[in-house]
Amino acid sequence: MTEEKAMLETGWNFDNSYARLPQVFFTSFTPDAVRSPGLIILNTPLATELGLNADALQSKYGVAELAGNKIPEGAAPLAQAYAGHQFGNFNMLGDGRALLLGEQITPDGERFDIQFKGSGRTPYSRGGDGRAGLGQMLREYIISEAMHALDIPTTRSLAVVTTGESVLRETELQGAILTRVAASHIRVGTFQYAANFGSIEEVRELADYTIKRHYPEVDADDNRYLSFLREVIKRQASLIAKWQLVGFIHGVMNTDNMTISGETIDYGPCAFMDNYDPATVFSSIDRQGRYAYGNQPYIGGWNLARFAETLLPLLHDDQNEAIKIATEAIGEFNKFYHENWYAGMREKLGIFNAEEANEKLIEDLLNMMQKHSADYTNTFRSLTLDKLEDTALFNSEEFKMWNELWQARLSRQQESKEDSQQLMRNSNPAIIPRNHRVEEALEAAVERGDYSVMEKLLEVLSKPFAHTQEQTDFCTVPTEPNESYRTYCGT
Ligand SMILES: Nc1ncnc2c1ncn2[C@@H]1O[C@H](COP(=O)(O)OP(=O)(O)OP(=O)(O)O)[C@@H](O)[C@H]1O
Ligand SMILES: [Mg+2]
Closest CA to 281 of 136, 58, 485: 485
Nearest CA to ligand 1 atom 6: 96
Nearest ligand 1 atom to alpha carbon 129: 3
pLDDT of res. 488: 76
Nearest CA to ligand 1 atom 23: 266
Nearest ligand 1 atom to alpha carbon 254: 18
Distance 151 CA to ligand 2 centre (A): 22
Bridge partners (DSSP) of residue 83 are: 92
Cβ atoms within 10 Å, residue 138: 23
**Kind and range of the H or E run holding 175:** strand 172-182
pLDDT of res. 487: 83
pLDDT of res. 3: 52
256 is catalytic: yes
Which amino acids bring their CB within 6 angstroms of ligand 1?
Answer: 93-98, 117, 125, 128-131, 252, 256-257, 265-266, 268, 489-490
- DSSP state, 131? B
Ligand nearest to the CA of 185: 1
Q: 382 vs 249, 385, 392, 413, CA distance in Å? A: 22, 5, 10, 21
Nearest CA to ligand 1 atom 27: 266
Closest CA to 291 of 257, 264, 254: 254
Binding site for Mg(2+): what residues are annotated? 257, 266
Q: Which of 27, 78, 97, 134 is the pocket-test mutation for ligand 1 (most atoms within 8 Å of CB)?
A: 97
pLDDT of res. 450: 98
Ligand nearest to the CA of 119: 1
Q: Is 27 helix (H, G, I), strand (E, B) or coil?
A: strand
pLDDT of res. 490: 58
Binding site: what residues are annotated? 94, 96-97, 117, 129-130, 180, 187, 257, 266
Helices (H) and strands (E) in the chain, counts: 17, 12
Q: Where are the beta strands (DSSP E) in 306-437?
A: none
Distance 134 CA to ligand 1 centre (A): 15
Q: For each of the chain's 491 residues, which pLDDT tens digit applies?
A: 455 555 558 999 999 999 999 999 999 999 999 999 999 999 999 999 999 999 999 999 999 999 999 999 999 999 999 999 999 999 999 999 999 999 999 999 999 999 999 999 999 999 999 999 999 999 999 999 999 999 999 999 999 999 999 999 999 999 999 999 999 999 999 999 999 999 999 999 999 999 999 999 999 999 999 999 999 999 999 999 999 999 999 999 999 999 999 999 999 999 999 999 999 999 999 989 999 999 999 999 999 999 999 999 999 999 999 999 999 999 999 999 999 999 999 999 999 998 887 899 999 999 999 999 999 999 999 999 999 999 999 999 999 999 999 999 999 999 999 999 999 999 999 999 999 999 999 999 999 999 999 999 999 999 999 999 989 889 999 877 655 688 876 55
Compute the distance between CA of residue 79 and CA of residue 238 in angstroms, rounded to an integer: 29
Binding site for ATP: what residues are annotated? 94, 96-97, 117, 129-130, 180, 187, 266
Q: What are phi and psi of 291, to 5 degrees?
A: -105, 30
**Kind and range of the H or E run holding 90:** strand 89-92
pLDDT of res. 478: 82
Instruction: For 79-112, write each residue's pLDDT tens digit.
Output: 999 999 999 999 999 999 999 999 999 999 999 9
Distance 266 CA to ligand 2 centre (A): 5
Nearest CA to ligand 1 atom 18: 257
Q: Where are the beta strands (DSSP E) in 230-310?
A: 248-249, 271-272
Q: Give yes or no for a contact between 143 and 433, defined as CB atoms under 8 angstroms apart.
A: yes
Burial label for 344, CB within 10 Å (0-12, 13-18, 19+), is middle
Distance 191 CA to ligand 1 centre (A): 17
pLDDT of res. 479: 78
Compute the distance between CA of residue 13 and CA of residue 4 in angstroms, rounded to an integer: 17
Nearest CA to ligand 1 atom 17: 490
Distance 116 CA to ligand 1 centre (A): 12
Q: What are phi and psi of 476, to 5 degrees?
A: -70, 145
Q: 197 vs 46, 91, 203, CA distance in Å? A: 37, 11, 10
**HEC-encoded secondary structure of 202-251:** HHHHHHHHHHHHHCHHHCCCCCHHHHHHHHHHHHHHHHHHHHHHHCEECC
Closest CA to 228 of 218, 220, 236: 218
Bridge partners (DSSP) of residue 85 are: 90
Q: Which of 95, 256, 274, 286 is catalytic?
A: 256
